[in-house]
Structure formats: structure tokens, C-alpha cells
Amino acid sequence: MYVLSFESSCDETACAVLKMGDGVREVKSNIIASSVDIQALYGGVVPEIASRAHIEAISKITYEALDVAGLKISDIDLIAVTNGPGLIGALLVAVNFAKSLAFANNIPLVPVDHIKGHVAGNYLTHKTLEPPFLSLVVSGGHTSFFDVKSYTEFVEIASTRDDAVGECFDKVGRVMGLAYPGGAVVDKLAKEGDKHAISFPSPSINKETLDFSFSGLKTAVINYLNTKNQKGEEICREDVCASLTYSITESIKQKVQDALIKTGYNKIVLAGGVSANSHIREAIDSLCKKCGATFYAPELALCGDNAAMIGAQGYYEYLNGARASENLNAYPS
Ligand code: KG4
Ligand code: ZN
């Protein structure tokens, strides 16, 4: 079946067409329009600007997604849309657009949880991957371990107690004057620095829990940068990025190892925008090679927010019986 999907939970307006079926998981088109350049002027996402940008982009990218896929709306068998969590005004744009399109054309509609969508991006990269498995979702808004029992049943087993890992990368990036969002730039600069140059605190809370806490690390790095600035001392951004990344990577590696032991799973699936981080990918990959587990991560194009991942999850929600009515609403958290 052909699935048309939408995503507008933050600053990306996205539309995709997938061909899904028994043994078939094919991305026919995956279009993303982003307001990140405008948001960068403000050093973060301004919700009202994001909503307006979604309204301007959504119709155009829908035509584009259908064109690239070589299909018409009458060929579409299912529409899927992210209805939470995210910025409420932003979410409502795709939710209402998808609702109108579905009911005007008599196509079934399913709502998709953004986090589950991130995990489902992996099904498009790894064509034979099936639940159950352990998943770690790392993004700008989330850092959580899930026991993914089936395509649709997720149990959160641990999370961050404060900031998400992406937020920590972005806030430090902002204080260093890096382009917004800072995560990808920190990743790049970290490759050129000394990871042992500065000793930053670990985001691991203790051995007893799989939870994380990133606010202490974030504050420590920002304090380090402010102190250096006040003293007029030079900052080696590469060393700061390498040391920050090392602290995050080491704690994630340790928690993944603990979570695999605790759950008994031998499959770990990474997801979310931060899953693009080369250091984290490498660390989990080498851990899995050592402990005999299999590591999955989405291809880079499917790490950040996109609609293909929403279509993939939407397909499995549909198979599980989900259907949205004209009363479908969005939820922020
Ligand atoms: O999943 P996502 O696109 O949006 C949310 O749902 O939050 O994640 C965005 C986050 C941002 O914090 C961004 O800086 C981070 O993903 N990110 C990265 C990298 N690429 C994107 N963080 C670290 N390393 C990267 N290569
Ligand atoms: Zn996301």
C-alpha cells in the first residue's frame, strides 16, 4: 500500500510517500522544508515562526512528495500524521492538513507519536528489523530507553531527569557561538580536539538507575566557558567539544551496556536527531561488537525529523487497527 505522511512537530515541515507491505519498506519520496535558517537568527525555535512556516510550506511539499513518487492523491491508501509530542501550534498545521486531505479523499488516517516515528525510521534502513528490541531515543527533546515489545507497544524504562542530550549539545553550542542547532557542529569539531583535555562531569546518575541527567554537565561546560571568557583566556572549541562529547558518549555507552543486561535484549536500536552523532554511533557499535549484540541506527537522512519515519510507524499503527476520526487533535507532551 502507498502511505502519504506528514510531520510538523518542530521546525521541519515534512511530507513523504512510502510503499509498505509484506516484506516491502520503500521510501518513494521524502521531502523536508525547514525554517531552521530563520530560527538560527533567534538561537532557537520560535514556535510562532515555526507554525507560520509550516502553513506556507505544507501544500507545496505535498505536491512535491507526490510528484517525486510519481503518484496522485487517488493512489494513496493511507495518510499518517504526527499528532504529538511537539509544539502545539506547529503540530496542528499538519494534523489539520492531513485530516482535510483524508476526509476529502476518503482515505484512512492514523495518528503517529513522534518518538515512535523516530524508532520506525530504522525499519526503512534495516529492512528485516523487527521488534522486540531495546531502543534508545536521543533527540532535542528526549533521551529515553524503551522496551519496544511490538511495532506499536512501547514501554519507557528510563529517561533523562532534566535536559535532553540534544538540548545539552545545542545550549553549549550557542554559548560557543556555533551555528544553531549546535549538535552537528559539535560532532565535527570534537573530531579535531583532545577528549581528555577537560574533565567534565558525567551525565550518568549512578549505577542503580538507567536514567540520565544532562543539566549538571551543561552547566559545568557553560561555567567553564564563562570563566575562561571572564579571565580573557583563549578557548579551544575543539577540546571543549571533544571533552563534552567524550563525557556524553562514555555515559551513553555504559547505560546501553547496563540496559542490555537488565532487559536481556541483544538488539539495540538508536533513534532521534542525536543518533546522527558519529562518536555515539561508533561507541555503541564497538560496545555491541564486544558483547555480541546487534546495533541498529537509521541512515543519516532519517535521523533528524522527517515524514518517512512517520509513514513507517503509521503503517504499523494501521495494521494494529488505529484509525483517526475527524476529531483528531494534537497533544504537546
Ligand atoms: O529528532 P530531532 O531532529 O528533533 C527533535 O525531535 O528534537 O533532533 C534534533 C537534535 C538537535 O538537538 C540537534 O542538535 C541534534 O539533534 N543533532 C545532533 C547531530 N545532528 C543533529 N547532535 C549531535 N550530533 C549530531 N551529529
Ligand atoms: Zn524528532
Rounded to an integer, what distance in angstroms lies between the CA atom of residue 246 and that of residue 46?
Answer: 30
The helix/strand/coil state of 311 is: helix
C-alpha 29 – ligand 1 centre gap (Å): 22
113 lines ligand 1 (CB under 6 A): no
4 lines ligand 1 (CB under 6 A): no
273 lines ligand 1 (CB under 6 A): yes
169 lines ligand 1 (CB under 6 A): yes
Report which bound ligand comes closest to the CA of 166: 1
Q: Closest ligand 1 atom, CA of 279?
A: 24
* 252-281: average pLDDT: 98
pLDDT for position 37: 87
Q: Measured in whole angstroms, how far is the alpha carbon of residue 159 from the centre of its chain?
A: 15
Report which bound ligand comes closest to the CA of 139: 1
* 21-48: average pLDDT: 92
pLDDT tens digits for range 123-172? 999 999 999 999 999 999 999 999 999 999 999 999 999 999 999 999 99
Q: What is the DSSP string of 68-120?
A: HHT--GGG--EEEEEEESS-HHHHHHHHHHHHHHHHHHT--EEEEEHHHHHHH
The residue among 10, 109, 48, 6 whose CA lies nearest residue 323 is 109
144 lines ligand 1 (CB under 6 A): no
Confidence category of residue 35, pLDDT binned at 50, 70, 90: confident
C-alpha 82 – ligand 2 centre gap (Å): 10
pLDDT tens digits for range 66-103? 999 999 999 999 999 999 999 999 999 999 999 999 99
C-alpha 62 – ligand 2 centre gap (Å): 20
C-alpha 269 – ligand 2 centre gap (Å): 15
269 lines ligand 1 (CB under 6 A): no
Retrieve residue 46's grid coordinates: 520560535
Lowest-pLDDT range, 14-28, 38-52, 267-281? 38-52
Domains of the chain plus CATH, in order, are 2-121+303-319 (3.30.420.40), 130-301 (3.30.420.40)
Residue nearest to atom 5 of ligand 1 (CA): 140
304 lines ligand 1 (CB under 6 A): yes
* 29-58: average pLDDT: 92
240 lines ligand 1 (CB under 6 A): no
C-alpha 27 – ligand 1 centre gap (Å): 22
Q: Is the dihedral of CA 54, 57, 59, 64 positive or negative?
A: negative
Q: What is the mean pLDDT of the chain?
A: 97
pLDDT tens digits for range 200-225? 999 998 889 999 999 999 999 999 99
Residue nearest to atom 20 of ligand 1 (CA): 184
Q: Computed over its alpha carbons, how large is the radius of gyration of the chain?
A: 20
Confidence category of residue 20, pLDDT binned at 50, 70, 90: very high
C-alpha 231 – ligand 2 centre gap (Å): 38
List of residues 6+ apart from 32 with CB closer than 8 A: 12, 13, 14, 61, 305, 306, 307
pLDDT tens digits for range 174-202? 999 999 899 999 999 999 999 999 999 99
31 lines ligand 1 (CB under 6 A): no
The residue among 121, 48, 82, 70 whose CA lies nearest residue 276 is 121
117 lines ligand 1 (CB under 6 A): no
Q: Closest ligand 1 atom, CA of 173?
A: 14
pTM of the predicted model over 0.75: yes
Cell 507560520 belongs to residue: 52
The residue among 267, 252, 14 whose CA lies nearest residue 123 is 267
Among 178, 274, 277, the mutation site with the greatest number of ligand 1 atoms within 8 A of its Cβ is 274
